Copies of this chain bind each other. A is one copy, B any other.
Amino acid sequence: MGEVNIKKLACELNLSAATVSRALRDSHEISTETKIRVLEMAKRLNYEPNPFASSLRRQKSKTIAVIVPEIANNFFSLAINGIEEVARERDYHVLIYQTHENREIETSFLNRLLSGRVDGILISLACEDVDKEHIEKISDQVPIVFFDRVDDDIEGVKITTDDYESAYNAVQHLIENGCKKIGYLLALNSLSTGKKRLKGYLDALKDKGLPDDKQLILKSSANNDENHTLIKNFIAEHRPDGILSSIEELAMPCYYACNELGLNIPNDLKLISFSNLAHAQLLNPSLTTINQPAFEIGVEAAGILFKIFNKRWYEPNETIILKSNLIKRESTRGFTII
């Protein structure tokens, strides 16, 4: 309901709407003098251009969409932070959608975004099996950049972290600190992200000569309460001396489970997790983490989307890999001789 529109502005200045429009967009055709007059009047009347009229006419929205599984998540909220900052620099708007890991919701969002509402989409996929065809059809119509939760079977630009290496190094770290029976808390296994983490775990075991016992891989549930019980039973039954958790949400229940089972971290069980917890340092014991550069991923993903907008991106199927950080803390401390 901006009261004042370009016509009124033009009228007030004894100019045509076209001239005002051009002046506002700093067109080279307009004299500096006129530009100044227009800008001043615009400011004086609190003129705000109607974005819908503009978008309708120009077929672009100055808006991008971010689709993530959850907003209230240390990783995603940081990534969104990065995205928002980049968008703000360019005067772009950011629409947020969360899928709650539900593929139907995700698909419905994507479909709605085919309307031209956004100039591009940044997406971190839900866990359920993805409809490759459908997503590729969408990415033909609107630029998409995938980040973190990606699927290599889908064509597209992707920003990930070094999931394989991170998991591999994590297991190696556990082994170096004395672990012989290392469990894996499995998540995201329908996505490349999860598959690579799992493969890193398995390969590290193999390379270090440890058996890869399928029993030691716990497939998590979508329900977090359930996971607590699952994990507790898993630890009680198999008594791993080390655990790599593929997501933060599965590491926390380990603390509770160990408490309940009377097990000591790290003495009875060493724990390491992919995590962006800001204060892993303050946990009891402090948690060894694989810290993903979440903010940077957001910045990078958004940056590439803008490059695509500006036709400065020529690699429609490139994957950019940022390095995660293994931060060693108490939860994986090796046995010390007393």
Instruction: Give the interface of A toward B (CB within 8 A).
Output: 1-3, 46, 48-53, 55-56, 59, 61, 63, 70-74, 77-78, 80-81, 84-85, 88, 93-98, 105, 111-112, 114-117, 141-142, 252, 255-256, 277-279, 281-286, 295
Question: Do B80 and A71 touch across chains, with their CB atoms under 8 A apart?
Answer: yes
Residues of B close to A279: CB separation below 8 A: 252, 255, 277, 283
Distance A255 CA – B105 CA, assembled complex (angstroms) = 41
Which of A50, A73, A85 is packed against the most chain B CB atoms within 10 Å?
A50
Question: Do B252 and A51 touch across chains, with their CB atoms under 8 A apart?
Answer: no
Chain B residue nearest in CB terms to A91: B112
Q: How many copies of the polypeptide does the oligomer hold?
A: 2
Chain B residue nearest in CB terms to A78: B72
Residues of B close to A50: CB separation below 8 A: 56, 115-116
Contact partner of A56 among B53, B88, B281, CB < 8 A?
B53
Distance A2 CA – B141 CA, assembled complex (angstroms) = 8
12 pairs across A/B with beta carbons < 8 Å? A2-B114, A46-B114, A49-B115, A52-B116, A52-B117, A72-B80, A81-B98, A94-B97, A95-B95, A96-B96, A252-B278, A277-B279
Question: Do B117 and A51 touch across chains, with their CB atoms under 8 A apart?
Answer: yes
Question: Do B93 and A51 touch across chains, with their CB atoms under 8 A apart?
Answer: no
Question: Do B115 and A2 touch across chains, with their CB atoms under 8 A apart?
Answer: yes
Residues of B close to A98: CB separation below 8 A: 81, 84-85
Residues of B close to A278: CB separation below 8 A: 252
Top 3 nearest A-B pairs (CB, nearest first) are: A284-B284, A48-B115, A52-B56
Question: Do B52 and A142 touch across chains, with their CB atoms under 8 A apart?
Answer: no
Question: Do A93 and B93 touch across chains, with their CB atoms under 8 A apart?
Answer: no
Contact partner of A282 among B3, B55, B284, CB < 8 A?
B284
- Min CB distance, A278 to chain B, in Å? 8
Chain B residue nearest in CB terms to A54: B52
Contact partner of A84 among B48, B77, B93, B96, CB < 8 A?
B96
